Amino acid sequence: MAIVQAPSTISLDQIVSGRAKIGFTPVVSDGIHAIGRPGTTIWLRIRTQLPTDDAPRFVSLPRQAIDSFRLHVDGNPGNPVASTGIAETDEAVRWPDSFVLALPALTPRNTTLYLEIQGQGHLNLRPRVIDQAQWRERARASSLAYDLLYSGLFGIFVIAVARRAVTGDRTLRVAAAAFGALCAAVVGNYHLQLSLGGTSLAAIPALPVVLWVMACAPLLWATQQFASLEKTNPSLATLLDRAGFALVALALLMLVLPVWLVPQLQVTGLLVVAATSVACAAVLFSDPRQWRWLPALVWVAMVPAMAVIALGFLQLLPATRLVTRGFQLLLALLMVIYLFAPWIRGALQERQRRLRGGSTEQSAEQKIAHAREWMIRSLQAGMENASDEGDMEWIAYRRLMGGLKPVLPQHAAAVIAMNYHNEDLLLVEPKTAEPWFQMLLAQRGSLLKNLSRSLAPQQIGVDFTGPDGPVQQALLAVIPLPIERPGWGVLVIERSSNVSYSDPELDLCTEFAALATTAGDEAATVMQLRQANEIEPESGVYRREMVEQLLRRAHESAALKRKPLSLLQIAIDNFEPLSPESSATVARVVADIIREEIDYGETIARVEPDQFLVLLSGRPIGEARALAERICAAVKKLGLPTADEKVLGLSIGVSQMLMGERSPQLALERAVRALAKARQYGGNQVQAVAGAVG
């Protein structure tokens, strides 16, 4: 075999006769790589010895971007004896893999053949002389291979669209990827014989490259959805979406570039497909769930599949169908995995649930419905019984974690709410995991804050140093809480490596988080309105008008729970001579000291300008007196001056409700008598009345 490239205006007769002053260059291998350009013809000279059986013979060349392929025989170089090209249809073969030209009958045994080739871009020229049996076998294998490839991609497209329409599954990206790969494969294999506006699509040299680059966009999008990046890594998901649109723009740009750039475009297209394969493999390998490793490995195999195409052009590998079209089969396999793997996995999980629990176990939908009903009911009950704003926030988020626990398998969960109603909140379940989440918040607080700004729940892996040492890839589900800025908050659930939350489960987390936060916000509003009516602004404790209601509520609770109820009647000594400004300051200071000393759930009311009433549920009179002594000492320790330059002090009367008393008024009267006794003895002291006074 020998080769020569010449301007298309030079004929074969001029080359053979020597008038063109150019000659053939021998080729020592069985093929050669050449670059076709507009206005240039590639001539191959083949000297061969044919068998003597007079059977029909054919010359074949791999099907590629060859506009015109003509056969000339020795003795009549000026007139081609057969011709074909990518714009012509082979009626004998449905999906041809080669250009095939029949040799003339009675061709001499020792003959010289000339192949006239006009094409665009990189060409892999490997001519073969074959007999009729070989031609038929190749035609049969080619038709079968492409039938499977094209029908498979088209079937995936139809099934994906049907599933979207019937069941609402998120399969449109898979449908787009399958359709894009199908179009690129049919055009890239030069099997599309269509014309637009009188121009054959096969006559557009850059079209195959354009379609393959464009097909990479839905492949990226389908991989992003398969890897659930919208939940696990929204920033990367956005990056891949934008990369897909960039590929579409690049493909459209390639379509309008000059024809002489086709060789460079072919190399660019090869690199784009390889880069897309690497990106998709990296995305899938970043997910720790093993069921996504199979498509990741297939994407890895795409890289050598693209490399062998280049090796085939360099004549280092034979130009077989597996070498030139193998990557298309891998893409079809990926589309099958993307479409059916989530479907099969869901069916297997449902079967395992049925086998484990029998017919009595609730389905995932039933568990979600039950958890939703329980969440709403418990929040309503908590709203009614909450005593203050902080209590409601605590109840709401505890209900949130409690409602999700039976639905979502988990190691631990935490609610992190920062600057929520001007306070920071960290609730952890179980309590033993609190140090773990405290260290996570301290080291990864910025990450959690950024994730809280997103709209969708996410599943991520995080490295940090825990209480027991470094933690590698802690698997977390992070659900943003709808807290107004500058506050922020997240629900963080630590899951095991073999558990992946489904979209409905994560949607349930988002719904519950919104319910809990809304309940906390409503409680805050209700409490603010309640405080405006019930709380005295000067001291920050209940108004005098609330005393009767507070006493009745405390009395009923103590009687129901069979627990003691003690009362402190506290008076500020030497209060009357103080100026209005000083008296307001002193009242606030005393109220703050009392608040610091009493426990959660114990109540303070201001009954006179200089007096406070404290209701101590669950405290016997001995503990109440000890508490009164601490309050009295704390005020005296401050050394606040009075109008007559004495040190501010407190007089405190202590009493306890007796068993069988049907009204708290008797205990209140005893506390008032005890206060009078303390003042009678000089003030700044504690007196108690334990029993009834006649």
Q: Do 160 and 132 share a structural domain?
A: no
Question: Does residue 280 sit within a domain?
Answer: yes
Reference 377, options 507, 529, 524, 519; nearest CA is: 519
Q: Tell me the pLDDT band of 390, cut-offs 50, 70 and 90.
A: very low
Strands ordered across the beta sheet of 128-131: 98-102, 57-62, 128-131
Which of 481, 508, 534 corresponds to the end of one domain?
534
Question: Does residue 181 sit within a domain?
Answer: yes
Q: DSSP secondary-structure letter at 182?
A: H
pLDDT of 446 over the 80 cut: yes
- DSSP3 helix / strand / coil % (the chain, rounded to 5): 50, 20, 25
Query: pLDDT digits over 175-194, tens only?
Result: 999 999 999 999 998 888 76
Q: Tell me the pLDDT band of 170, cut-offs 50, 70 and 90.
A: confident
Cβ-count burial of 244 within 10 angstroms (0-12 exposed, 13-18 middle, 19+ buried)? buried
Average pLDDT of the chain to the nearest whole number: 83
Q: Tell me the pLDDT band of 16, cut-offs 50, 70 and 90.
A: confident
Question: Does residue 358 sit within a domain?
Answer: no
Q: Which residue has the higher pLDDT, 165 or 507?
A: 165
Q: Do 445 and 563 share a structural domain?
A: no
Question: Does residue 355 sit within a domain?
Answer: no
pLDDT of 358 over the 60 cut: no
- Give the lowest-confidence range in 22-26, 523-527, 681-685: 523-527
Question: Does residue 497 sit within a domain?
Answer: yes
How confident is the model at residue 306, as a pLDDT? 93
Q: Do 610 and 524 share a structural domain?
A: no
Contacts of 40 (CB under 8 A, 6+ apart): 5, 6, 7, 8, 118
Question: Does residue 359 sit within a domain?
Answer: no
Instruction: Output the domain CATH number for residue 422.
Output: 3.30.450.40
- Give the lowest-confidence range in 345-359, 475-489, 606-620: 345-359
Q: Do 176 and 111 share a structural domain?
A: no
Question: Does residue 510 sit within a domain?
Answer: yes
pLDDT of 378 over the 70 cut: no
Q: Do 374 and 461 share a structural domain?
A: yes
Structural domain range at position 296: 138-345
The count of residues in the chain is 694
pLDDT of 30 over the 90 cut: no
pTM: predicted TM-score of the whole model, two decimal places: 0.58
- Give the lowest-confidence range in 183-192, 310-319, 411-420: 411-420
Rg (CA), the chain: 43
Q: Tell me the pLDDT band of 166, cut-offs 50, 70 and 90.
A: confident
Q: Do 292 and 173 share a structural domain?
A: yes
What number is the average pLDDT over the span 418-429?
79
Which of 136, 159, 184 corresponds to the end of one domain?
136
Check if the beta carbon of residue 2 is closer than 8 Å to that of residue 25: yes
Q: Tell me the pLDDT band of 574, cut-offs 50, 70 and 90.
A: confident
How confident is the model at residue 357, as a pLDDT? 54
Reference 125, options 133, 116, 112; nearest CA is: 116
Instruction: Output the domain CATH number for residue 17.
Output: 2.60.40.2380
Output the CA–CA distances (angstroms, integers) from residue 511 to 313, 403, 524, in the order listed: 57, 11, 20
Q: Do 144 and 131 share a structural domain?
A: no
Between CA 382 and CA 396 the distance in angstroms is: 7
Q: Do 158 and 303 share a structural domain?
A: yes
Question: Does residue 326 sit within a domain?
Answer: yes
Structural domains counted in the chain? 4
Q: Do 116 and 197 share a structural domain?
A: no
pLDDT of 195 over the 50 cut: yes
Distance between start and end Cα atoms, the chain: 132
Among all chains, which residue has been given the structure tokens 């095939």?
100
Q: Do 205 and 103 share a structural domain?
A: no
Q: Do 434 and 562 share a structural domain?
A: no
pLDDT of 391 over the 60 cut: no
The pLDDT > 70 percentage for the chain reads 85
Which of 516, 534, 552 corresponds to the end of one domain?
534
Q: Do 629 and 604 share a structural domain?
A: yes
pLDDT of 292 over the 90 cut: no
How confident is the model at residue 360, as a pLDDT? 44
